[in-house]
Structure 1
Amino acid sequence: MSQVEQQQTAEQVILSRHSVRQYQRDVVIPDAELNEILELAASAPSSWNLQHWRFLVIREQANKDRLLPIAFGQQQVSDASAVVVVLGDLQANLTAPIVFEKATPEVRDTMLGQINGAYANSPTVGRDEAIRNASLAAMQLMLAARAKGYDTVPMGGYNPAALIQEFNIPERYIPVMLLPIGKAASPARATERLPLSDVVINESF
């Protein structure tokens, strides 16, 4: 595939991704295909390469139905093929020794010093980095799903405390969003975008 063809394909994937809220029920995503989507999502960039995301994948119907009251009755969590609960790691600094295990001692010591210093010196850095980096992976997951012919919708409308309790999510992880994945039962509602002149500020305000 030529560079132009690759660019066109990337643009088509991005522009064809829409938030779908009605899904065909009982569509099964093959394990291998779902794993490919998750692997692509997990290739997202992250601060210090700490890979702050964790994916709680919910596929069994009974478990998807447990999400319904947590998601305030939004039917897509029950009908979609899977719901990925995107979590952020509040203590991602603890993975640094593994991430930099193969680095030279000088690089490893420098990076661990930077990371542990940042986490120790700010009470908000753990939460900020968890949400920021898990969101990067979530966006990449949505694009990976679209590239393979599936639809998604990012959901912030749910009860985080109930989600944590119902699915035994450890305190180390913070729910960032729910991501239903499946096949659309009806097209996504058309949305408008602000003109570029409204969202781009050149050089300074």
Structure 2
Amino acid sequence: MSNSQNSEKIEQQLFLDVIRERRSVRSYDPNVQISREEMTEILELATLAPSSSNLQPWRFLVIDTPELKEKLLPIAFNQQQVVEASAVIAVLGDLKSYQKAEEIYGQAVEAGFMPIDTAKSFIERNVDMYSNLPPEETLQIVYTDGGLISMQLMLVARSKGYDTVPMHGYDRAKLFETFGISEQYVPVMIIAIGKAMKPGHPTTTRLPIEDVAFFNEFPSE
């Protein structure tokens, strides 16, 4: 086996280890803090996730001070990981992400990924289409893209030795009211992130793949 093949195999194994070792952790070491620099890097890597027309509708509210985590605690129905974790990340979807189309495609032109005429065409078409979508379609898009980036964020965190748990149990209206989030955004989930005090439960039990995956034809009920 060549050095390049051996290196590739090691990288593949490391990636598989990240996937297999990810757990939903609910008990964190309160003494471990993630620096703003490292948190920024985690979020930057997460934003490499795909999104509809590359409009990147995700927005993050990172809550990492003790005072604000205490404020969040009752909103999250007193789940203790909220105050123990290094931070809690509210993943939000921007219902007007098309407003950043010019900035996004302008960056693509500057990077040499597309000519300016193509970018202008993309901007016009996407702004027109996304600004006129029915609300339920817009919601479906931001929830889908928000789910993609949330999973990527959790895997990036695990690759750096941190643990996470996605949380759907919280008062969405209270979250928005308390932290001054406008109606332009919708909540996707909140994610606690930090260093596990106790390991999460093993997640090896899954339905057999033949019960959930089908080739070429979906079975009738």
Per the normalisation by structure 2, the TM-score is: 0.88
Where in structure 1 are there 5+ consecutive unaligned residues? none
Asked whether 1:195 is paired with 2:195, we answer no
Aligned to 1:50: 55
After superposition, give the CA deviation of every residue in 1:9-31 in whole Å (9 maximum; x if it has no partner).
Answer: 10000110010011111211122
Task: Indicate the RMSD between aligned Cα atoms, in angstroms.
Answer: 1.4
The Cα shift of 1:150 comes to 0.3
* Aligned ranges 1:64-103 → 2 under 5 Å: 64-101=69-106, 102=109, 103=114
Percentage of matched positions with identical amino acids = 46
Aligned to 1:33: 38
Take 1:142 and 1:113, find their aligned partners in 2: how far apart are those partners? 34
**Residues 195 and 100 of structure 1: CA distance in aligned 2, closer, same or farther (over 3 Å):** same
After superposition, give the CA deviation of every residue in 1:84-128 in whole Å (9 maximum; x if it has no partner).
Answer: 111111111111111112353431233234323432143323211
Count of paired positions: 205
* Aligned ranges 1:138-157 → 2 under 5 Å: 138-157=150-169
Aligned to 2:129: 118
- 1:88–1:175 contact (8 Å) kept in structure 2: yes
Take 1:188 and 1:121, find their aligned partners in 2: how far apart are those partners? 41
Q: Which has the larger radius of gyration?
A: 2
After superposition, give the CA deviation of every residue in 1:152-172 in whole Å (9 maximum; x if it has no partner).
Answer: 000011111000000001211
Take 2:94 and 2:143, find their aligned partners in 1: how far apart are those partners? 8
- 1:92–1:126 contact (8 Å) kept in structure 2: no
Aligned to 2:217: 204
The Cα shift of 1:46 comes to 0.9
Where in structure 2 are there 5+ consecutive unaligned residues? none
Per the normalisation by structure 1, the TM-score is: 0.94
